[in-house]
Every structure is written in structure tokens, then in C-alpha cells.
Structure 1
């Protein structure tokens, strides 16, 4: 919640009556605008109730297709990269950061150099990249783009305030590329291979119980390699390309 007398609510959360009433009580209902990073069910559904109760202006991008998306979200303004939103706490700069979700935006509070990272960067865990809406190539490119911004602190949607943003972003890029290198090594050794077999080898350092989730990440890496011309598939079978 940003502001002193007139408020901007960032990612109001799920459609939970108790939660919504707490937001209204805290702000006294003086909500001028709601700003949304993306439309997963834990981020945007409360917007409808806040709009109905306060008449606030809503910023965010429309939900893509998919059951995990909040199809009730109806923005008044769809910010694009670089757009500015004036709040009582300062100016928010919209930064288009697809990867975790195709409609994901981060918001940089310019005066304080404080980045509201939504689910693009989390504290204490890595971000789920789940195709088809999740895109590993776009995610990495978006991380590189953030390095060009003047940021002192990161305020993630999940976790605590994070200092040393360059180090945080560098770590995330390195972590993802290290996993990509492992996927490449496994692909070379097993190809042609199924996603299940590739996951079992490329994620042998994580418990087998979560290999179902790991398979989504593995697929995201393979799709990035395919986009880079480094992997190819025929049906559910993956193989290397000559230049890999």
C-alpha cells in the first residue's frame, strides 16, 4: 500500500472477503488506484471488489488464457514498458518483464529506487516458469533488462525486502544458465529422449517427489534451447541439433 492520505494498492491479492476488508480498513477506503503486476490468482482477483467499493482506477495487463489466470481482471489502463503512474508516494515506472507470466510487469518507485518485482524475483526461492505462458528465454532477457535500471532495493511479492539488487539478479541469471548447461549435457548424452527421462537426469539433485514440477522447468529450458536453435523435438521426443 503506497501513500499517506490517498492510496495506491499494489497487487491486492485473492478474492478473500476478510483480506479485502482489511485493505479497506487500513486505507479508510481512500484508494485512488490499484496496480497489478500480473493476473495469477494470488495477485489480482481482489481488484473487482476494491473497484466496486472505491471506484479506483485499475492498472495492469489483461489476463492471457489459462486456468491459473484471473479472467475477472479488467484494467482501465494497460501499462506498457516505460509508462509512468503517479502515486502519493512517488512515481511508479512500469517495466515489462515477461517470463513467469506473459503479462508480467514490475514497477519501479523512481524516487526511492525501489523495485516492486511481483513474481519476477522472489526472496528465498526461485520463480516457477511454467510453459506455455511461462517463457524461460523471455524471463532471462527480462532479468538482463532490469540491470539497466537504477535500483537500490527489491520488494518481492513473496518474501522480504532485498538489498544488493545487482547481486540478486546476477545470481538468478547464473542459476538458470547453470541449469540450462546441465540440460544441454543430459540432452547430448540421452538424445533422442523424452521429457520425463531428461528431467530425471537433469534434476537428479532434487527429490523425485517434485519431478513433476521440475519437468515444467525442464520443458521451459528445452523450449528456450529450441528457440535458440540448439534443440529440436518430434512429438514428445527431444534431440540435439548439429551445432549444440
Structure 2
């Protein structure tokens, strides 16, 4: 289905928040990125918009207007990746407003939006829409400038690409850092949120339990990597093959590879793993520290 053939609609999540699942270029099996609209009266703040299709973004604008909104006062990019930012300039043509992103993601956001970095603003701690507060928190992990947005009083937490409605998310260099991601998951687990609103897929109920389960999964994967390295030194490709076998990752292979690299980086920082270059291709070989 082409992007412009998709029928977009508002999925109401609370009195002040709805989402629009927008077709984007993203990782399968997901083919949409959520745009969240937080509003009070006729004013709104839009979080993420990733479609580069003009007709699709025109539909996004139509849906926003159908909810009684005629003024967008700001855009927030949870992080710079194209499936979260490419549509913002197109939506600005319908609703002009400044764009806020964390300064650590300004360079990437400007590149994806094709604008000067000077056009981007750094978010303050809180944005206000009448009696609605958007508490913007720097939560690196997926990227260095990744943001979470707590919407009060609705107690909804936008978590960007730190959680997904289906499956897990990827964390990898040079953008991401596994230890930062663990801290972001711990913050979600300690939050009062009733729902976590991910970048892709449906809202996540019991976000505290879900984030703890994600953390446990990642730590289990780390333990598996350590076990493999206890048996023999291995390259990243060796580790990925041992973990995923013949599951046919296809286009997702690079995701598994980069996430494995992020785990290895953390284990090196913890002093549990060493690495060295091995001839003839000078591949990095990882060993468990004895």
C-alpha cells in the first residue's frame, strides 16, 4: 500500500492526547510511526512526524483539524531518526511552529529535516498548554539526545524508540549506548505513567512491568554473550550467528549486529570483556576477561 492510500485517523488515548499511526520508512514488521498530538482547546503540541510523503502529511493535518485544533505551538522530536522527523517540515507548511530537539540530536535532526541547526530549539524542562504540562526529559539510549515526554495530568509517557508496541527495540553505536538505555528503562519503571506511548505500535499497558521485562531480556542476552565468549573468542558476526542461528534476519541483520556491538561495548566498560584486532582482515575479536 502506498503511503498516500492509507486512511489516517485519530486514536484517542486521553482527554488531551491522540495518536496518528503514520506510514513511514521504518523497520519491519512495523510500517508506521506514531505522531502524538497533545492539545488543550484549539492549541496543540505535536510529537514526531516521520512521513516524507506530501499527501500523507496533508492527511495528518486534516486529522488534526478534525479534532478541533487550528494552532500548533510547537513540535518535539523524540530523536533525530528520519522516521520521526522527516515529516515535520511538511506539517509545518500546514501549522507553522518551532521545532524542539535535544542539542545532542540537533545535527542529525537538522540533516533529516534539511534545515539549518540554528532553526532548532532546545527544550526547557516543561512546556505548557493551558492546564496540560509536558515534562520533557533527556533520556539517552537509542540516541544520545533521545527524549521522553510525560503528559500531565493524563499520566501518559511518550517513550520514543525505547519501547515498541511489538517486539523489542535496537540500541547500537554510534547513536546509542546500552548503559544509558538501561537507565532509561529504569526511569520508566519508576514513573507514575498509566501508559507508555511508543514510537511504533500500540500503547503499552503497565509500562513499569513492561520496562522491567525489557531490561531483564537485555541482561539475559548479555549473559548469553558472556557465556559464548567463555567458550571461545569470537567476532561480532560469530556472536550474532550463534544467537540467531538460521532465523533469516534479512534486513534486520544490521539491527542485531549493532545491538550486539552495544552489549559488547558495555561489557568492555564493565571490565568483563576485552577485544583485539585479528589479521588478516583486522576484525575485532572479543574474549571474556579471566
Structures share fold, TM-score greater than 0.5 = yes
Match of 2:45 in 1: 8
1:199 aligned to 231, 236, 240, which one?
240
* Structure 1 residues 111 and 171, CA gap change in structure 2 (3 angstroms): same
Q: 5+ residue gaps in structure 2?
A: 1-36, 278-283
Q: Deviations over 1:96-116 (max 9, x none)?
A: 221111211010102111011
Match of 2:10 in 1: none
2:161 aligned to 119, 133, 158, which one?
119
Q: 5+ residue gaps in structure 1?
A: none
Distance 2:249 2:112 in 1: 31
Match of 1:51 in 2: 92
Distance 1:146 1:169 in 2: 6
SS in structure 2 opposite 1:106?
strand
TM-score (norm 2): 0.74
Shift of 1:93: 0.8
Task: Indicate if the aligned counterparts of 1:64 and 1:102 stay in contact, CA closer than 8 A.
Answer: no
* Structure 1 residues 64 and 2, CA gap change in structure 2 (3 angstroms): closer
Task: Indicate if the aligned counterparts of 1:2 and 1:88 stay in contact, CA closer than 8 A.
Answer: no
Residue-pair matches, total: 238
Match of 2:286 in 1: 238
Counterparts in 2 of 1:157-168, with a 5 A limit?
157-168=199-210
SS in structure 2 opposite 1:43?
helix
Task: Indicate if the aligned counterparts of 2:160 and 2:199 stay in contact, CA closer than 8 A.
Answer: yes
* Structure 1 residues 151 and 181, CA gap change in structure 2 (3 angstroms): same
Q: CA RMSD in A?
A: 2.4
1:22 aligned to 45, 59, 64, which one?
59
Structure with higher strand content: 2
